[in-house]
Structure 1
Amino acid sequence: MQSRQSIQLRQQQQLALTPQLQQSIRFLQLSAQELELEVAQALTDNPLLELEGQYDTDTSSAEEGPLSQDDGGAQQDNNTYLDEAEHYGAQPSMGERSQDDDYAPREAGSVETLRDHLLGQLNVTRATDRDKVLVTLLVDELDENGLLPVSIDDVVGYINGHLGVPEPQDTPGADQAPQAAVENDDEDEDPHLVSREEMLAALRLLQSFDPPGVGGQSVAECLQIQLRQTQSIYPIDVFDCAMQMVGEHLDMLAAGNFTRLRNQLGVSQTILQAAHKWVLSLNPKPGRAWAQSVADYVRPEVIVRKVEEQWHARLNPAVFPRLRVNPEYEQWLQSNKADESTSALQVQLQQAHGLMKSVAQRFETVLRVAEFIVRHQQAFFEQGPQAMQPLVLRDIADALEMHESTVSRATRNKYAQTPWGVFELKYFLGTSLGGAGLAPASSGTAVRAMIRQLISAESTQKPLSDNKIAQLLAEKGVDVARRTVAKYREAEGIDAASVRKAKARLKRA
């Protein structure tokens, strides 16, 4: 049998998670304060990037001028901060700093964060650059407890959406994914696609880092990760009992019903006690050790005002940095493109324009989401929380043709100033609770407000039980179960009826 060699020319595209894309994804997730720190650091690192020395408008005109116009005027005011080629918004608070003040935020934030701790471990691994990028994206998704609140499919869809690749219609199951990854090695495979298998591998790498349990997608998975990492210390039967205990009976364990738990697990009292002691030594919130105190104030990025009987959202110019490239440097670089000695400055010029574009895209996305929320929640701004309408991420994503993960980032840690107070944008989201009969559905936020109102008006000698609250809500056309009432009551930090009655008795004594 003869072998034959041949030369083939194949054209293909490679996945490119460019620094610009990574920056855009990360900027959208940052709060206004965090973005300000990022911009301040960029101004320090890049000599071509600078802030405008003068403001487009003074404080009074920026706050009152557009609000006295109609909606078209407000929209035009928003566009002035998003569409200019060289100047992106206004940031009086940053513009008023001295040169020395620009270094203060980094000194104040010198304490190691969970992100710093994890990325430090990532940098000493042998992971490829591609895998490091994927792990970094997962690290940016972790909450303050070190858990991953989003699904792998959402992360994959979000990345592929930014790359311009449509999401696959059928996502293979976790048990079928590895086999599919081996067999699907034909020429038709889209090289742009970030596969679910790649992201799962990145997640497993993240979950191997310190602190134990980091990257778990739930408290149960977080505890199971820690059990696997210490299973060599305990007998196999205790390990199996502990894994089943946290994986299937975590609620029963929290309730302290050990008789029923032992019957469900079918183990001896000795094994159950050993497994229970082991579980108690675990940390369900591995990231809390790196949690830092947060200031009691926030800076709203959106201002909601009424213009001609309609409520509208506009950007707060005080949080939008006015950035530009130094025109003299840029002109000089344009005329010396062929000079190799300017290559480093050419890179910084590209980075400066990329940062300005990422900042503008971030605020444009936040504004689009805020405008949709305000249009949908007109009743809230007129009547208050009890008039909140049902609204979920999917509704916004479908209307704005965005991915749900994009909407989630645009509502997390982004605040709106309203006549009723300053609220996080995700406060305006709530699931639909079916109305009784022909009554319209209510949102969870509205139901919680109704529960607070009913309890505040109750008799201290005879507090309302959860069943009674459910009946009173049903009379108002809101059909909710007793368990739903209990969940919302606990979320509001309100004690059960028996505890409220006992506290009232103690006050009268």
Structure 2
Amino acid sequence: MALAASLFLRQSQSLVMTPQLMQSIQLLQMTHVELNQFIEQEVEKNPLLEIASGEDGVRERGADDYSGGNGDPLHAENLGSDEGFQPDLYDSATQGSAGSAPEIFDGGLDNVFPDDAGPRNADAPELIGQWKSMPGGGEDGEGYDLDDFVASRKTLADVLNEQIPFVLPDAIDRLIAQHLVDQLDEAGYLQGGTTETALKLGKPVVEIERILARLQELDPPGVFARSLSECLAIQLRARDRLDPAMAMLVDNLELLARRDFSTLKKLCGVGEEDLLDMLAEIRKLDPKPGTRYETSPSEAVVPDILVRAAPDGTWHIELNADTLPRVLVNREYHAAVSRHTDRNSEDYTFLNECLQTANWLTRSLDQRARTIMKVAAEIVRQQDAFLMHGVDHLRPLNLKTVAEAIKMHESTVSRVTSNKYMLTPRGLFELKYFFTVSIGSAEGGDSHSAESVRHRIRAMITQELPDAVLSDDDIVDILRKGGVELARRTVAKYREAMNIPSSVQRRREKRALAKAAAS
């Protein structure tokens, strides 16, 4: 059979991921901070887009807006009409004689409103370059800038550099100290050994150790340490509490982590009561002294969904208006410009593309808000017992269950629940918190949530007595009697994830504390 080229037509249907569709999917996963940044960028590029002010809610006539909650447009009356407007006394009094009025009434702006007065000459021109707060002292002659007077938070390096000249008068020593400051991490620990520093700077190791010993005397105590033991020892030395017994305890922190009190008592040569006092002294120390100068700002979590109890016993669910941007499409501006623009010009094409992009953005934001509401409403319906009675009644839930209930794809539900938070009467939770693994029931009943099981394990360990510490096998038996079928290795995994020590370590600690309390 001979091969030959041929040409024919075929009609088929297929799904195509357009750029706008991909952007709409990304909008679902954005947090409200990322969404606001994206909208600000779109407003800069699109002259038809505007961000509505949240203070008065007034918008221009002819603009379509997005409310973000139910998708209905926000209606606002047009304020500031000129009909029936009468000029006030100030306007009639200043017409035709505005130049002489301040002189007559001694009401010049430089006297009444100093900030609104005209440019003033500098009081001392020779000091303009040194004092920006002086009138006329700015580069553009507009006076001072408040940002120049805002106190910036000091970093750990700033605090240390202020103290170094007092402990190291020699210039070369200060240069070596500056090199060591640059090697500190956020916690204040020295990264790298003194041998490497000595080879890099061409100095003896003894010289680096001498400078390092002086730097370890600086505030905050514990800084420039190379290990946790050294950090605690520096702080204890500053408090004059580093005796031989305490030094031995600090050198054997691995035994302290295992709660091996019997071995620690032999090594330190102290009794049980003295050992507990030493442990209490160590708990007062700061294992990361440099974190108090951390400059990264803390961001508050703002809930995206608000849930509160309704009078009829149901739950009232609403989107947080503070996290929903209100975007306006100025159609009046589009119509006015289109009337004076040639339809075949590039400007007209650009204007139509801006209008399409603006309409797409408002529809995508509305669809995003509706999708979040659907997912949140289904989560509240599924976790009604948790909202009423607490974490013990948290039901196992997965993305597929919610997706089938609201007739959406699992990937859509996953994007909606990412980095979204819900404020409930039980507290603030991420939406992912309500999706937990299902654990089978020992009696064939309803399955249990993994989070509720972890809560039970934590509660049992908290309530145990020194003479009746529960092992992992004991916890498995108690859970089985309560209707939860769980393996021993799973209990150990949950316990370690909650940073709870083993039964042997807990027994040692609780017995030691009980003896100290009895004596």
Q: TM-score, normalised by structure 2?
A: 0.50
- The Cα RMSD (Å) is 3.1
Q: Hey, what does 1:309 align to over in structure 2?
A: 313
Query: Which residue, out of 314, 322, 326, partners 2:330?
Result: 326
Q: Hey, what does 1:190 align to over in structure 2?
A: none
Shift of 1:379: 0.6
Kept in 2, the 8 Å contact 1:311–1:381? The answer is: no
Q: What residue identity is the alignment partner of 1:318?
A: D
Q: Hey, what does 2:69 align to over in structure 1?
A: 81
Per-residue CA deviation, residues 318-349 of structure 1 (Å, 9 max, x unaligned), is 11101111232232356558242222222222
Shift of 1:461: 5.0
Structure 2 Cα separation of the partners of residues 450 and 399 of structure 1: 30
Matches within 5 A, 1:81-160: 81-84=69-72
Q: What residue identity is the alignment partner of 1:322?
A: R
CA distance 1:40–1:497, shift in 2 (3 Å): farther
CA distance 1:441–1:351, shift in 2 (3 Å): same
Matches within 5 A, 1:234-273: none
Structure 2 Cα separation of the partners of residues 472 and 311 of structure 1: 34
Q: Hey, what does 1:181 align to over in structure 2?
A: none
DSSP-derived class of the 2:316 partner: strand
Structure 2 Cα separation of the partners of residues 441 and 4 of structure 1: 64
Q: What residue identity is the alignment partner of 2:325?
A: P
DSSP-derived class of the 2:315 partner: strand
Kept in 2, the 8 Å contact 1:86–1:323? The answer is: no
Shift of 1:86: 8.1
Shift of 1:370: 0.7
Per-residue CA deviation, residues 202-246 of structure 1 (Å, 9 max, x unaligned), is xxxxxxxxxxxxxxxxxxxxxxxxxxxxxxxxxxxxxxxxxxxxx
**2:301 equivalent to 1:298:** yes
Shift of 1:455: 1.4
Shift of 1:494: 2.2
**Larger relative contact order (Cα-Cα within 8 Å, sequence gap ≥ 6):** 1
Query: Which residue, out of 451, 454, 458, partners 2:460?
Result: 454
Structure 1 Cα separation of the partners of residues 393 and 34 of structure 2: 33
Q: What residue identity is the alignment partner of 1:326?
A: N
Matches within 5 A, 1:8-19: 8-12=8-12, 16-19=16-19
**2:38 equivalent to 1:32:** no
Kept in 2, the 8 Å contact 1:86–1:324? The answer is: no
Q: Hey, what does 2:343 align to over in structure 1?
A: 338
Structure 1 Cα separation of the partners of residues 446 and 12 of structure 2: 53
Q: What residue identity is the alignment partner of 2:434?
A: F
Kept in 1, the 8 Å contact 2:476–2:486? The answer is: yes
Q: Hey, what does 2:391 align to over in structure 1?
A: 385
CA distance 1:13–1:507, shift in 2 (3 Å): same
Kept in 2, the 8 Å contact 1:369–1:407? The answer is: yes
Q: Hey, what does 1:482 align to over in structure 2?
A: 488
DSSP-derived class of the 1:495 partner: coil
Structure 2 Cα separation of the partners of residues 327 and 357 of structure 1: 15
Structure 1 Cα separation of the partners of residues 444 and 353 of structure 2: 63
Structure 1 Cα separation of the partners of residues 332 and 31 of structure 2: 32
Kept in 1, the 8 Å contact 2:69–2:370? The answer is: no
Kept in 2, the 8 Å contact 1:435–1:479? The answer is: yes
Q: What residue identity is the alignment partner of 1:300?
A: P
Q: What residue identity is the alignment partner of 1:28?
A: L
Name stretches of at least 5 consecutive residues in structure 2 with no aligned partner. Answer: 59-65, 76-294
Q: Hey, what does 1:194 align to over in structure 2?
A: none
Query: Which residue, out of 455, 470, 475, partners 1:469?
Result: 475
Per-residue CA deviation, residues 447-491 of structure 1 (Å, 9 max, x unaligned), is 111112111111245432221112112222222222222222223
Structure 2 Cα separation of the partners of residues 3 and 433 of structure 1: 62
Q: Hey, what does 1:45 align to over in structure 2?
A: 45
CA distance 1:347–1:315, shift in 2 (3 Å): same
CA distance 1:23–1:503, shift in 2 (3 Å): farther
Q: Hey, what does 1:226 align to over in structure 2?
A: none
**2:494 equivalent to 1:491:** no
Shift of 1:492: 2.4
Q: Hey, what does 1:375 align to over in structure 2?
A: 381
**2:349 equivalent to 1:364:** no
Per-residue CA deviation, residues 58-77 of structure 1 (Å, 9 max, x unaligned), is 9xxxxxxxxxxxxxxxxxxx
Structure 1 Cα separation of the partners of residues 386 and 422 of structure 2: 13
Query: Which residue, out of 403, 421, 427, partners 1:397?
Result: 403
CA radius of gyration, larger in: 2
Kept in 1, the 8 Å contact 2:334–2:351? The answer is: no
Kept in 2, the 8 Å contact 1:301–1:315? The answer is: yes
Query: Which residue, out of 488, 503, 506, partners 1:500?
Result: 506
Kept in 1, the 8 Å contact 2:32–2:323? The answer is: yes
Q: Hey, what does 1:137 align to over in structure 2?
A: none
Q: What residue identity is the alignment partner of 2:71?
A: D
CA distance 1:491–1:51, shift in 2 (3 Å): same
Q: Hey, what does 1:188 align to over in structure 2?
A: none
Which of the pair is proportionally richer in helix? 1
Q: Hey, what does 2:414 align to over in structure 1?
A: 408
Q: TM-score, normalised by structure 1?
A: 0.51
Q: What residue identity is the alignment partner of 2:31?
A: S
Kept in 1, the 8 Å contact 2:68–2:366? The answer is: no
CA distance 1:294–1:504, shift in 2 (3 Å): farther
CA distance 1:342–1:334, shift in 2 (3 Å): closer
CA distance 1:5–1:489, shift in 2 (3 Å): closer
Shift of 1:360: 1.9
Q: Which moved more, 1:459-468 or 1:367-376?
A: 459-468
Per-residue CA deviation, residues 110-158 of structure 1 (Å, 9 max, x unaligned), is xxxxxxxxxxxxxxxxxxxxxxxxxxxxxxxxxxxxxxxxxxxxxxxxx
Structure 1 Cα separation of the partners of residues 315 and 3 of structure 2: 75
Structure 1 Cα separation of the partners of residues 446 and 467 of structure 2: 34
Kept in 1, the 8 Å contact 2:402–2:413? The answer is: yes
Q: What residue identity is the alignment partner of 1:338?
A: R
Matches within 5 A, 1:178-217: none
Structure 1 Cα separation of the partners of residues 440 and 2 of structure 2: 73
Kept in 2, the 8 Å contact 1:312–1:371? The answer is: no
Shift of 1:54: 5.0
Structure 2 Cα separation of the partners of residues 438 and 4 of structure 1: 67
Kept in 2, the 8 Å contact 1:86–1:325? The answer is: no
Shift of 1:13: 5.4
CA distance 1:472–1:317, shift in 2 (3 Å): same
